[in-house]
Amino acid sequence: MFEDAEISIPCPGCGHKTKKSIAWIQNNTYFSCEGCGRTVAFQADELLAGIENVDKTLADFRKKLGRIGKRR
């Protein structure tokens, strides 16, 4: 659901922020800073786990909304 969403990843060297999509982050572990050219490695495990949790929560919420007003 959030694959197209972008986040800014700051370079620890120069501080330049590089925008990357969630889909890109899921498939990569480093990038070249557009500001200074430094190779920046990152671990996105916590971010991706949080996004998966939000996806599941939204899916559960939609199911509950679909049941509102239905007879039991």
Query: Is 15 inside any structural domain?
Result: yes
Task: Taking residues 43-57, report their average pLDDT.
Answer: 83
Query: Is 71 inside any structural domain?
Result: no
Greater model confidence, 15 or 58:
15
Residue 66 one-letter amino acid: G
Burial 25-36 (b: 16+ CB within 10 A, else e): beeeeebebeee
Query: Is 16 inside any structural domain?
Result: yes
Query: Is 55 inside any structural domain?
Result: yes
Query: Is 35 inside any structural domain?
Result: yes
Q: How far apart are CA 39 and CA 19, in angstroms?
A: 15
What is the domain extent for residue 31? 6-65
Number of domains, the chain: 1
Query: Is 72 inside any structural domain?
Result: no
Query: Is 1 inside any structural domain?
Result: no
Per-residue confidence (pLDDT) for residue 1, from 0 to 100: 63
Give tens-digit pLDDT for 4-39: 889 898 999 999 999 999 899 888 989 999 999 999
How far, CA to CA in Å, does 52 sit from each of 4, 32, 44, 56?
14, 26, 12, 6
Which residue in this structure is represented by tokens 């969630």?
22
